[in-house]
Amino acid sequence: MKYRLESRLIMILMLGSIISLAGCNGNSHENGESSMDIEVNGKINAQLTSPPFVPDPIGSRPAKQVIVDMEILEQEGQMANGVSYIYWTFGGSVPGSFIRTRVGDEVEFTLKNHPDNKLPHNIDLHAVTGPGGGASSSFVAPGHEITFSFKTLNPGLYVYHCATAPVGMHIANGMYGLILVEPAGGYPKVDKEYYIMQGDFYTKGNNGEPGLQPFDMQKAIDEHADYVVFNGATDALTGDNAITAEVGETIRLFVGNGGPNLTSSFHVIGEIFDKVYVEGGKLINHDVQTTLIPAGGAAIVEFKVEAPGTFVLVDHAIFRAFNKGALGMLKVTGEDNPSVYSGTIQEGIYQPEGGIIQTMPGNKGAPEAPIAQSVSERIEMGKQIYARTCLACHQEEGQGIPNAFPPLAKADYLNDDVERAIAIVLHGKTGEITVNGKNYNSVMTAQSLTDEQVANVLTYVYSSWGNSGVEVTPTMVTKVKSSH
């Protein structure tokens, strides 16, 4: 009898779980309404803001058609004192403009690529349910614009980023931001809200080397970041740029991590998070010291400031904070609160320290690339290099991408001048060219390859897809290198 009652109880519990799970399907919410069924009432233009500011809270407004108009700008900015960088941006800032919506909104998104830009771009919004998060419908060349639409089905805080090949390069140059989808009725009221996003940057020069620093693809692949910063620069949240609050106020931080590579261990020195919306979703954790934010992820943190002073925001992978730049400041003013904290305040604690790259003695460097012993071996080695470095832009059959990256297959521009092709692989190319009667105005990045590797990959290209079949040798590459 006891066994039979226990069996019946287990069945009841299992049935309850199945019913509960079924109720979660279809993006249903607490009131049982599916986000797909939420009626849209009217149209508004999205309020877009640059960091560290956020648009006004959604609150109780009904779902609407939200018009987002965003322009991509490639522009020079300051990474650190004396160090500048060409950022690729959504809306002219790193991170890009903050987008604030509510569940059930229908977003009409127009993405513009400024005519002065050099590269095509697109956008992948993690809040989108659809192909590529929108990337498949938003590929846009310089001087053009494109529109696509989506419905916000799931509340939460989501990353968006560029997804044009090479994807990592576009993200590493600052092409990321946050889109917030508030639940119906909005979030609880707080006194201050701010927008903070971490990113890792990779430059030819080491941390602190002055001048306009180019992007370093090899460092990015190796995940050797020269700078790890909040909001695109080492001083974006320090000094006069620090965020502010008054004693007794409750602060909400929308914190994202654009990556492209590194996870953030987000911490505010001298504060404890009263609430953490884990990974930007519904799950709320309490009394948290440090929260992990993955690359391509986000979190919402809330805390009340109980005492005045400067509270330091860091990635608690601590060398990133004090040596690579992931350090910001929250300056809190107001009356002392000795019941919470008392002590003599010493200035100069927790300041940036700058970075130095050190090497271990006896480092012999990487082994040399293998040497091809025949044309067929050179072609096979070149095919492997092509797959790693060229395929994303020029495609598997050398067909290129229309209006963006020129074809290599039966390409007159390629076959007419072998030395020119070698020079482009070695040094890169920018500006307008004509290939097979069509104009292209993009950027070919210089490739960090040995002379042997350049010879191999070009020999593979010339031997494929109806090209001339010429063999490029390391001697030819060395000659071109010495003449430029």
DSSP 375: H
Residues in the chain: 484
- Residues 82, 255: Cα–Cα separation, whole Å: 27
DSSP 467: -
Q: Which two tokens stand for residue 250?
A: 């409750």
Outline where 194-325 has alpha helix (H): 217-222, 318-324
Is the Cα torsion angle 22, 26, 30, 32 positive or negative in sign?
negative
267 is known to lie in a ligand binding site: no
Q: What are φ and ψ of residue 27, in 5° steps?
A: 55, 40
29 is known to lie in a ligand binding site: no
Cα angle 48, 52, 58; round to 5: 45
- Residues 115, 405: Cα–Cα separation, whole Å: 17
Q: Which two tokens stand for residue 458?
A: 């070009």
Q: CA nearest 195: which of 251, 240, 249, 235? A: 251
Name the strands in the sheet holding 297-304, side by side, starting at the edge strand that comes first in the sequence: 227-230, 192-201, 250-259, 297-304, 273-277, 284-288
Listed in sequence order, the residues at least 6 apart from 387 whose beta carbon sits closer than 8 Å to its beta carbon are none
HSE-up of residue 219 (Cα within 13 Å, Cβ side) = 16
Dihedral (Cα; 80, 85, 91, 93), 10-degree rounding = -10
Q: Is residue 432 classed exposed, middle or buried when 0-12, 13-18 and 19+ CB atoms within 10 A define those classes?
A: exposed
Helix axes 451-462, 474-483, angle to 10 degrees: 110
- Residues 114, 109: Cα–Cα separation, whole Å: 16
144 is known to lie in a ligand binding site: no
170 is known to lie in a ligand binding site: yes
Instruction: Give the Cβ contact number of residue 481 at 10 Å.
Output: 14
Please, are residues 329 and 238 in contact by the beta-carbon 8 Å criterion? yes
Please, are residues 237 and 209 in contact by the beta-carbon 8 Å criterion? no
Q: Residues at the annotated binding site for Cu cation?
A: 121, 126, 161-162, 170, 175, 316
Q: Residues at the annotated binding site?
A: 121, 126, 161-162, 170, 175, 316
